[in-house]
Structures are given as C-alpha cells and as structure tokens.
Structure 1
C-alpha cells in the first residue's frame, strides 16, 4: 500500500554512532561497501560472498549481460571483470558476442571481495531496529549486538522468490527440488532430473535456460508459457540497429534513457514506475539460447494456468488453452520460473515497527536521493531499489549508478 503522507527526504541528517552496516555480500553489497570505505567511513559487512551466484544458480548457467555490462563498480581502477580474468589466467571476454559463464562471474565477485572487502563477516543479521537515541541496533546470529549509524540493505533476490497462488496451492509446505514443485532459484544441479518428465512454467530467461539445461541433462522438458508467441529470443549483437544508442540491455532510445537517467526515474508517478518495471525488459530468452532450445524443448502456449495439484505424488497442471479449452499436463516435477516480487514483508530481519514507519509503494521502499529511504540512515540498493530507480537496478551494471551516490549521500550526512 502506498503511504503518500511519509516524505522521502534525502537531505535530513543521520544521527547515531558506530559503523555503517552493509547487509549482503553480492555485487551491490560489495560495491557499496567498497565505496563507503573509500569515503573513510567505518563499515562492517555481513553475509556470504556471492552466495546466490554460487549456490542458487544451475551449473552451466551463462550471463545474459555483455562483458562490458558485468563489472562491479569500484572506487578505483583495476577491479573490472577483465582485470579478474587477467589475474586468474582466464580468457578475456571482450566483445558483446563473448558469453560469460555464471561460474566465472561468481569467481570475479569473490575476487572483488577479497581485494576490497577482505574483512567480510560471514554471519547472518537477525534483526535491525531503531535506537531511541538515533541510529540502529543490529543483532547477529553469533549473539553479538551492535549500534550502527546507518544500515545499507543489499540482500538481492534472497527470500523474494514468487509463486502465483494457483501454483502455490499444490505445495502448501513450500516448493522444493525434492518435492513435486520447485522454484527455479532453488537449483544448483539439474542432472537429478535426468530421465524424468519436467514442466517448466514461465517464458523468461530463467525458464528457458532451466529448460535447456535440464533437457541437455537428459530430461524430457515442456515449457508452459502464457500467450501466443510468448517464447521469444533477443536479437544477435551483430544485428542490432546501429542508428539507436547503445545501452547495457540493447540498442533502443527507451533502454538508453532508463540506463543513463535512473535518477530521474524516481520522480515519475508511482503508477508509471510500477508499470514500467513490469513491462520494460519483459520475458525474453538470450540470443545465444535459441539454437539450444529449438527442437529440444517442447512449448505449450496457454492462456493461463488454472490449478495445480498432486496426484499419486506427481504434479498435474490444469491449463486453459489458447482456444479456451481445459487441458491437463502431468509430469514428474514442475519448475516454477515465475520470478521474484520485492516485498519488504519478506525481509524478516527488519523490525516490524521499523517497517511500519517506512514509506512504501506496493510493498517496495520509496527512495529519495542516494538510495535513502524515508527513515534517516536506512538505505536500499540493488533490486530492492528497482521501483524507485528503474530496471537498471536488476543488473550488475546498476552498481555504477547506485554505489557512488549512496556512499556520497551517506558521507555527506556524516560530514566526511
């Protein structure tokens, strides 16, 4: 629910002592921490380095972003993806046609962390609450409690996996790779489904690449996608229109504006921002995936999934076909590649009272300048800031926009 009465003011001073706490050690958390330290601020960073990339993505996954759009922003030179490849003795992915393995990117993130955030603390933040005198009280699962002058939330997609209600009804205890249905974010090893019949629900890159990787592992795979012509693939780099400006997402004026002018995005009406967030860069497969998909994965285009249930331990989907007839699809397992939804309620470590005082719009934080929330000293970056700054925050290249601004805002608030 939108609370328009709560003003997001990026110029109010932050009160409180102690370090700046960064929660999350993925690309956005590591980048923010590096910039904050370069500003001379005391920083403590909590989390496991690149854990989502190392443990929640299937083996064999490739990045959809180009090498040039896959750099974690640093306050000094020498920490790009190419710098890592040189240091690790790996081939340099220099052109848009070079595809970067997710495993290489995970290694890059860990190298970046070792170089710029060497004292990362691999503990979990249990709770964050406001302190009566200003600042925040942070509790860790190690038992430690500390006072923080500011908190930067950079937890990425962790905990934001989304299942539509018609699919969730089939797994009341939650999705699981060992059960009848899982979420695409729960897989590391897809070879477990070799010889099985699999349904993958979705039409985005996650769905299509999961389908391809599972088929290549020896499964019979069918993709269930909503709408006629819903399974589509992007154009090759050499066929991009040259008269349009380049952006990290392709050549188009709209994409160029969203990537270059993210600061202005937050000034749009909330309804327009949420609409753009849904529509821009919608479901599409990477250009290099098409050849591996066609002829190896079966596509079922439907109007919608009506219900999901289990019969004899096997999942069964009832769908409405394009000509509005019911059809049942059964398999050994269903993978729901149905994406993520940013919802502050899913960030259980944020105290209830703290969340209740934040300005939000449709469950997402309303941010002002420098990724600052309506609560002085509390910042959100990465995908959690997407509804305020646009689609660029879904991608690693968004660290170039977010991290310097966040660090600059926080440093100014503390006079450093």
Structure 2
C-alpha cells in the first residue's frame, strides 16, 4: 500500500509530488504532465501572470521558471509576457527533475477501501493508497452556457477544446465571454483570418494596467504592494495569506471565490484586440438553434429587448465552475457525503487541504471556495503543496509506511466515525 497517490500532473500535481518525494513518502503520480496546457490552450497564447510569480514548487525553491529559462537561453523579464509554450515546457522540465516518475495513465476510479483507497486506471491496474490527492485541473469543470448544450461540436465549442485555431480561417465565429481567455482567443482567431467578434453580458470590457516596476519607493510599495496576483492590498491578501481567507464564514468565502479578480484582459493584448475584434456588450444568449448550417442566437439586451445574431460557430470562453458532481472518477458514495462550502459544490477543507472524508485531499480549482482565488492560478501551487503535505503527514501519523485507521479530519471539519470498509464517513450532502 502506497502512502500517497497524486492524481493529476499539472502545476499543482507536480508541485505536491515534488514535496511528497522529498519527504520520503512511497508515492505514485498518475497523469499526463501539463496536459491542460499542452492540449487545451490555443497556440500563440501568452501567460497572463508575471514570470516571477509562475513557479512550480519544490522544497528549497529549486527548479524555478528562471532556472529553466537560464538553462535554455530564454529571455524572461518582469513586464514582458511569456509564451504559454515556454511555460508548458518549463512544467515538463520541472517534472523530470523534481518528481521521481509520472505515469501517463488515466485514473478511472477512486473509491474507499480498508485503511485508505483503491485507485483504478485505464491500464487495468488497481493501486492501494493510504491517502489520495485529487489535483485534476480544470477540464472536468468546463462551463458552457446552457442554451448551447443542444448544439453539435461543429457548431458550438469551448475555448479549451482547441489547440489549433487555424481551422476557423475564413469563418464567422462568435466568442462568448469577456475575460482573458475570450479576448485573447478572439484576437488569435482574427489573426488566423477568421471573422471574430466578442459577445458578452458585461456592459464594458475591463483591462489590466501595465505592471508597476518591482523596485519602487517604500511609501509607494506600502500603499500598493506587489503580490503574486498583481498589485494592491486585496490581491496581496488573496495571494499571500490564503489561510486567512479560509477562516472567513462560508458565505464570504464563496462570494470571494466567485467575484474576486473578475474578468479582465491583459494590458499587452489591448492594442491587438481593439484593432481587430468588434464587440457586442450587454447581451445574454436566451436560445440557440441550428440555421442554414450555422447558429442563430436569440439575444436579450440590457434593457430587456431582443435581437438575433447569425454566426457559423459559437466558441464559449466562459471559464470553469468547481462542482464535485462532475468528478465522476470519485466514488459516488464519497461525492455525496463530502461536506461542502456553503451553497457551493466545492469541498470544505481543513488547513491541510483534507476533505471531510479522511485521507482524501484536493488541490486546484476545487479549493478556491476554501482558500480563495489564488487557487485558480499557478501562484497558489506553492502554498498548496507545502500546506497539503503537512496534512498528509498528519494523516499518516508522520511515519511513512505506517498503516493508520482513518480518523476525523482536523481543523473544524465535522467529526465522523471511523468507517467500515467501503462505508461512507459522516458529513452532509449538498
């Protein structure tokens, strides 16, 4: 039986695995390294965060993005956007150095078993583990506007469905959304020769300002501090002290996760976008139907009026919604028992990222309603890896290889009885 199985090999999974390996745990890491970044982001995109805030996490701060760039003679500077391809290559490089072995298999099931869990893969293997971390990224949580659900993939898709946008050259494409993914995708479509437009509920587009210099006067720095998520005191709180966010009431945490760091385009994209992409703001999609080989969108305007829009393809860049119900690889009994954060569909977690099912840990998007918006960004991987490993060590009794009986999760999670093999722990459903 392994001490830990990490499901997922993106920035969070690789960072957690690096800390687990350094701690001497018996470990399996399952997933395709940086898969979402390699397969589900259009070519030509840039990283929105600053390079210095985009490191994966290893003990001692080793294997940073700057280390990778120096090794590969890649220029990296504050205020200069980094290509997504460079960051993806960095993540793979990090994994090769910091993680013993990543197995490129798909996990099909995680279910409770005596003393821990049984993890099944598409290769037919069943792995016994005392603890499991689900660092499965964002792909299970794709958010598609409901009116588009009945359309075929040829007529409606999500931005994460595409790595190559050249297939849309010469076609009329309506991109739904007002965040960075929508704005950059629309710009890239226009540059590929598509007739692209933005359709958004927002009344205006928001644009980030250029980053301030890293070296500033003390007073200016105090008024508007730098942080991994940008300048300003709110951003500093979200990025630097996620533990404080977790101590807030559940309703406040859910509100922060849903509203903080709202949709906005990167400053360096604005000129490219505004010169190439028309926008339709203050409109909602009421219905969508196939018409003449394309899509007719019935729209509601901000003042309650109605309009129609014909387009050849609708591309939703509408983000991702954390929802345990979509986590099909997790045993239904466990999913239905986990305590959730307020009215959200995200798991309530201890300070060590442990859920109310003993030994089951989460990382990434699903943890944003517990720890705040930094969990939606690479910057949150360092805090997560360090704190989560403390939680795993507590669960294992700080003695790798020791078989332990599951006991209630700590730090305010509801007390549960030690479950019999295959039986649910206590808690409430949502």
Output the TM-score relative to the length of structure 2: 0.88
Give deviations 1:127-165, integer Å, cap 9, x for gaps: 11111x220011111111121010000001021101121
Listed as ranges, the gaps of 5+ residues in structure 2 are: 215-219, 400-430
Give the whole-Å Cα distance in 2 for the aligned partners of 1:89 and 1:193: 34
Match of 2:290 in 1: 310
Matches within 5 A, 1:206-285: 206-229=181-204, 231-238=205-212, 242=221, 243-285=223-265
Contact 2:145-2:316 within 8 A present in 1 as well: no
Match of 1:5 in 2: none
Question: Which of residues 39, 44, 67 is equivalent to 1:55?
Answer: 39
Give the whole-Å Cα distance in 1 for the aligned partners of 2:2 and 2:252: 39
Contact 1:227-1:322 within 8 A present in 2 as well: no
Match of 2:377 in 1: 395
Match of 1:139 in 2: 120
Give the whole-Å Cα distance in 1 for the aligned partners of 2:190 and 2:273: 9
Q: CA deviation at 1:302?
A: 2.4
Question: Which of residues 161, 164, 171 is equivalent to 1:186?
Answer: 161
Q: CA deviation at 1:78?
A: 3.1
Match of 2:104 in 1: 122
Match of 2:9 in 1: 25
Secondary structure class of the residue paired with 1:319: strand
Contact 1:302-1:319 within 8 A present in 2 as well: no
Aligned positions, number: 390
State the structure with bigger RCO (CA 8 A, min sep 6), 1 or 2.
1
Output the TM-score relative to the length of structure 1: 0.91
Give the whole-Å Cα distance in 1 for the aligned partners of 2:251 and 2:14: 31
**Coordinate RMSD, CA, aligned:** 1.5
Q: CA deviation at 1:167?
A: 2.4
Question: Which of residues 139, 142, 155 is equivalent to 2:136?
Answer: 155
Give deviations 1:330-354, integer Å, cap 9, x for gaps: 1111101111111111111101112
Residues 315-324 or 362-371, more deviating = 315-324
Give deviations 1:232-280, integer Å, cap 9, x for gaps: 2111114997531111222211111111210121221221111111111
Cα distance change of structure 1 residues 239 and 166 upon mapping to structure 2, 3 Å threshold = farther
Give the whole-Å Cα distance in 1 for the aligned partners of 2:230 and 2:105: 38
Give the whole-Å Cα distance in 1 for the aligned partners of 2:213 and 2:305: 39
Give the whole-Å Cα distance in 2 for the aligned partners of 1:260 and 1:192: 41
Contact 1:367-1:385 within 8 A present in 2 as well: yes
Give the whole-Å Cα distance in 2 for the aligned partners of 1:319 and 1:99: 35
Match of 1:11 in 2: none
Give the whole-Å Cα distance in 1 for the aligned partners of 2:282 and 2:392: 49
